[in-house]
Structure 1
Amino acid sequence: MNHYNNIAIAIDYIKQHFKSQPGLEEVAAAVHMSPFHFQRIFAEWAGVTPKKFLQYLTLDYAKNMLRTGQATVSDAAFETGLSGTGRLHDLFINIESMTPGEYRNGGKALHINYSFAESPFGNIIVAATPKGICHLAFADDRELALQYLIAQFPHALFTQTVDLIQQHALYIFTQDWSRLAEIKLHLKGTDFQLKVWEALLKVPMGKLTTYSMLAKELQRPNAFRAVGSAVAQNPVAFLIPCHRVIKANGATGEYHWGSTRKNAIIGWEAAKTDKEATT
């Protein structure tokens, strides 16, 4: 509990002083800990290093400024305490996979193909950039599903058409999971989110895991809440199998597209793997 209190104080300190870009030593001193010990404890409780946490806060503030379209990239860099636009550019590239200017334009000039298809668990919407699948979701209401997609990339150019990238992704409903490597993904997220999604890809079909097990897999045993948040923000349903994560007590737990659908997917995968094991 003492560690929890110290980390809570440290998080609050970083939030209040992020514009001055405090270093590890400064934040550690604020909670009367050595930098080495503080870094280790912070990573265990928060799921990221103090430096990464500071970067995420900085990026969120810059994104809020740029989202309005009224601030320049230079303004955003100055207001977040960064030494120049170059550092802000690197931060966006490393975490968002786009430049500050591209974010400010809301995905302008980004070409996204999308289509609707049927799956064993209902209609889906799948979207891809030239780099890979950027979105896949169950679409009980097609209009709402399309509106949600557009909201993620408000200034992108959308075309309703099926391309090869989408076709390869849809094979997953009829082919075995050994072909997963053929599917290209174009994801944007924090380093921690990407690591959680990568860990999900390693959960075999027909098997289940828990948030705490994923946290241990990532060597962040106390970051199961952060893991849960990353799982909930998975942008590619089914392909990144967040449905295979259940609670430690065995309960199915929540699912963005409904617990009934989650139970159906888990049962379908279990039956499919059992059948393959007996043939």
Structure 2
Amino acid sequence: MPCLNPAEDPVDARRHRAIAAAIRHLVDHWQDQPGLDELAAVAGMSPFHFQRLFTQWAGISPKRFLQFLTLDNAKRLLAANQSVLDVALDVGLSGPSRLHDLFVACEAMTPGEYKALGGGLTIRWGLHSTPFGPSLVAATERGVCWLSFAEEEDGRDALAEMAAAWPAARLVEDADATRPVAARAFRWDGFAKDGSTGGEPLRLLMKGTNFQIKVWEALLRIPSGAVVSYEDVARAIGQPTAMRAVGAAVGRNPVCVLIPCHRVIQKSGIIHNYRYGVPRKRALLAWEQGHVLPEDEAAA
């Protein structure tokens, strides 16, 4: 039976669960503008300790986090970032770090490898607690091949989904091997001022159709803190009328967070259709925006 990383500090795991509970409450009740005392009670700690822990983990205060959960904010960002994919296409993945928070080297499987369904591959996987809920991370020697959120605390559902995607691969539970990837994805090592994570590029092993891979590569060009529409992505891959197909490819992204499918929203500014739930999508966007947008933009 899978379990959260047994080598993980139980204190850190409890803190992640407390922050996750507070984030869920923020996302569910942002229109009520919950205060510090209310959020601290949800997290099961004093207001002083909650404020300190939340800010330590998120890098921003709960109040500022709340600012990024509104529909108006999403609309404003969408309007401000209309040309962001065009700029990214011009400068490429070696552009300014403000443009790319994660430098990722992608390798697509060959048609033969795709057909083999992972035959000959050893996939090491681990479950890690995060402030967004339990996360399953899986990697091969050639790169990260899976990152998803689990709805069940023991991760059984996420493991079953991953195993179904790679039915012929050899699966080995090894949380120590995947913890560095989780740390990079969720910035346990901290953000730089420009939102980047630094370090050597992460390598992804991508299994998908040619169209899906083109969409996923386009998602990698969306800067941290930005949002784009499905139409923007369709135009960026040279298929301006393929919004429905783009939406389907976005939804089948097997490496969430690292391939930032959560940064794609409707042209109207409405945040919807996230594989792991709209509340989690809102929380991921608010978290990123709080790190990369200046204080005056947050208040705009």
**TM-score normalised over the length of structure 2:** 0.56
Which has the larger displacement, 172-181 or 266-275? Answer: 172-181
The aligned counterpart of 2:119 is 108
1:252–1:156 distance in 2 versus 1, CA, 3 Å? same
- Asked if 1:184 corresponds to 2:203, the answer is yes
Q: In percent, how many aligned pairs have the same letter?
A: 37
Taking the TM superposition and a 5 Å limit, the aligned residue runs for 1:128-207 are 128-141=139-152, 142-162=155-175, 167-174=180-187, 175-176=190-191, 177-179=196-198, 182-207=201-226
Provide the alpha-carbon RMSD of the alignment.
2.5
Once residues 245 and 236 of structure 2 are traced to their aligned partners in structure 1, the CA distance between those partners, rounded to angstroms, is: 13
CA distance in 2, matches of 1:165, 1:200: 23
Q: Helix, strand or coil: the match of 2:205? A: coil
Q: Deviations over 1:87-112 (max 9, x none)?
A: xxxxxxx9852527x835x4333200
Q: The residue matched to 1:116 in structure 2 has which SS?
A: strand
Higher helix share: 1
Q: Is the 8 A contact 2:126 2:178 kept in 1?
A: no
After superposition, give the CA deviation of every residue in 1:222-263 in whole Å (9 maximum; x if it has no partner): 111111111011000111000000001110011000001111
* Amino acid corresponding to residue 141 of structure 2 in structure 1: P
1:236 equivalent among 255, 258, 264: 255
Alignment of 1:49-128 (within 5 A): 97=110, 99=112, 103=115, 106-128=117-139
* 1:219 positional shift: 2.1
Letter of the structure 2 residue corresponding to residue 158 of structure 1? L
SS at match of 1:239: coil
1:212 is matched by which residue type in structure 2? Answer: E
Cα distance per residue 1:41-82 (max 9 Å; x no partner): xxxxxxxxxxxxxxxxxxxxxxxxxxxxxxxxxxxxxxxxxx
Q: What is the identity, as a one-letter code, of the residue corresponding to 2:286?
A: G
Query: Aligned residue for 1:65?
Result: none
CA contact (8 A) 1:172 1:180 kept: no
Q: CA deviation at 1:179?
A: 3.3
The reply to whether residue 217 of structure 1 matches residue 243 of structure 2 is: no
Closer/same/farther in 2, CA of residues 261 and 225 from structure 1, 3 Å limit: same
Quote how far apart the aligned CAs of 1:181 are.
6.0
Equivalent residue in structure 2 for 1:264, among 258, 277, 283: 283
Query: Following TM superposition, by how much is the alpha carbon of 1:147 offset from its aligned partner in structure 2, in angstroms?
Result: 1.1
Structure 2 unpaired stretches of 5+: 1-106
Cα deviation, residue 127, structure 1: 0.2
For this pair of structures, how many residues does the alignment match? 183
Which consecutive unaligned segments of at least 5 residues does structure 1 have? Answer: 1-93
Deviations 1:88-143 (A, max 9, x none): xxxxxx9852527x835x43332000001122211100000110010100012111
Residue 17 of structure 1 is matched in structure 2 by none
C-alpha distance 163-133 of structure 1, shift in aligned 2 (>3 A): farther
Structure with the bigger RCO (C-alpha within 8 Å, sep 6+) is 2
